[in-house]
Amino acid sequence: MKPLPQGEIVRQVRNALAEDIGSGDVTAALVPATQLVSGRVICREAATICGRQWVD
C-alpha cells in the first residue's frame, strides 16, 4: 500500500472532526482543539485495523 502524504491525513482528520463537532458530538468536545492527545487500541481477539496510517 502506498503511504498517504501527511497533508492528506491532516485533511481527513479535519474533515472527520468538522463532521462530529458540527453535530454537537459530545466526545469531540472533550479535548480542546489546541491540545495534542494519544490513544491506545486494545483488542481482546485478533483484529484487522483499517486506517493504520492515521495512527502510525
CA-based R_g, the chain, Å: 13
3-state SS of the chain is: CCCCCHHHHHHHHHHHHHHHHHCCCCHHHCCCCCCCCCCCCCCCCCCCCCCHHHHC
**What is the domain partition of the chain in residue ranges?**
6-55
| Residues contacting residue 4 through CB under 8 Å, at least 6 positions apart | 53
Angle CA(6)–CA(18)–CA(9) in degrees, nearest 5? 10
Instruction: Please report the pLDDT score of residue 43 as a whole number.
Output: 92
pLDDT digits 0-9 by tens, 1-56: 788 888 998 898 888 878 877 667 777 778 887 999 888 889 999 988 887 777 77
